Amino acid sequence: MTPPPGSLLAAENLRKAYGPTTALDGAEFSIHPGEMVAVMGPSGSGKSTLLHCLAGIVTPDSGSITYDGRELSAMNDAQRSALRRSEFGFVFQFGQLVPELTCVENVALPLRLNGTSRKEAERAALAWMERLEVDDLRGKRPGEVSGGQGQRVAVARALVTGPRVLFADEPTGALDSLNGERVMELLTEAARSAGAAVVLVTHEARVAAYSDREIVVRDGKSRDMERIV
Ligand SMILES: Nc1ncnc2c1ncn2[C@@H]1O[C@H](COP(=O)(O)OP(=O)(O)OP(=O)(O)O)[C@@H](O)[C@H]1O
Ligand SMILES: [Mg+2]
């Protein structure tokens, strides 16, 4: 397959079944460097499955995914996990922070796993926490912070390694609208300043409005929505 010109991450004709359930049925996707694409659609339509395939977490039954000119299916597991660690960041709906670690230790964790010294990792972590306005929570554990604060910590952790793609699956799904908006504002700002592309799964139009472009998934098929401004 030839990915669309200039795309960083692209997928064509993805199929994935879980037993009798078809989760993806010929889905397509593409994103440019620094672009923010919202993936919308009803519950069970295949949004998370699409995101997991794009991120190399789930292997599709067929179809093609290219990242930066490389075909994901041609990589082995070790290469794919190295790609995830170095090029991708992840924010999920909830439950992603390690409860035993403080917030700054959580944000520093991806750098620590890459072999960065504790001092250097925590310095970088704090810089990101400042941008997400959660640096005052550095010594607290995830159980001691609010949902919105926790998601901002999670965004800082996802960006601390300087990923080229940030995957966010319903990052504000567990928040009230005010907190959700603050998280989205800061996520958008931070990702843009870092030059990261964002794949944002949401079923809320208000959240999708932060994106440059929308893709709608229905019954495992996706199509581009021209934004009507
Ligand atoms: N690990 C799995 N095992 C079995 N079935 C699965 C699995 N993951 C997803 N499915 C099924 O695949 C379909 C698509 O699921 P997916 O999680 O991608 O939907 P979604 O659009 O993210 O939904 P939601 O908005 O509720 O999160 C659903 O029918 C779901 O039940
Ligand atoms: Mg989902």
CATH code of the domain covering residue 32:
3.40.50.300
Query: Which atom of ligand 1 has the smallest separation from the CA of 50?
Result: 18
- 127 is a domain residue: yes
List all residues whose CB is within 6 A of at least one atom of ligand 1: 18, 21, 23, 41, 43-49, 203
Q: What is the pTM of this model?
A: 0.94
- 186 is a domain residue: yes
> How far does the centroid of ligand 2 lie from the alpha carbon of residue 225, in Å?
19
> How far does the centroid of ligand 1 lie from the alpha carbon of residue 47, in Å?
8
- 194 is a domain residue: yes
Question: Residue 98's domain spans which residues?
Answer: 9-223
- 36 is a domain residue: yes
Is residue 214 within 8 Å of 227, Cβ to Cβ? Answer: yes
Is residue 166 within 8 Å of 198, Cβ to Cβ? Answer: yes
> How far does the centroid of ligand 2 lie from the alpha carbon of residue 48, in Å?
4
Task: Please report the pLDDT score of residue 1 as a whole number.
Answer: 58
Q: Give the integer Cα–Cα distance in Å for 154 and 107.
A: 7
- 96 is a domain residue: yes
> What total number of domains does the chain contain?
1
Cα-based distances in Å from 124 to 35, 142, 162: 24, 19, 11
Q: Which of 15, 18, 216 to mutate to test the pocket of ligand 1 (most atoms within 8 A of CB)?
A: 18
Q: Which of 16, 29, 48 to mutate to test the pocket of ligand 1 (most atoms within 8 A of CB)?
A: 48
- 229 is a domain residue: no
Residues of the chain with pLDDT under 70: 1, 226-229
- 1 is a domain residue: no
> How far does the centroid of ligand 1 lie from the alpha carbon of residue 7, in Å?
26
- Bridge partner list, 67: 9, 70
- 228 is a domain residue: no
103 Cβ partners below 8 Å, 6+ apart? 97, 129, 134, 137, 138, 139, 140, 141, 142, 145, 153
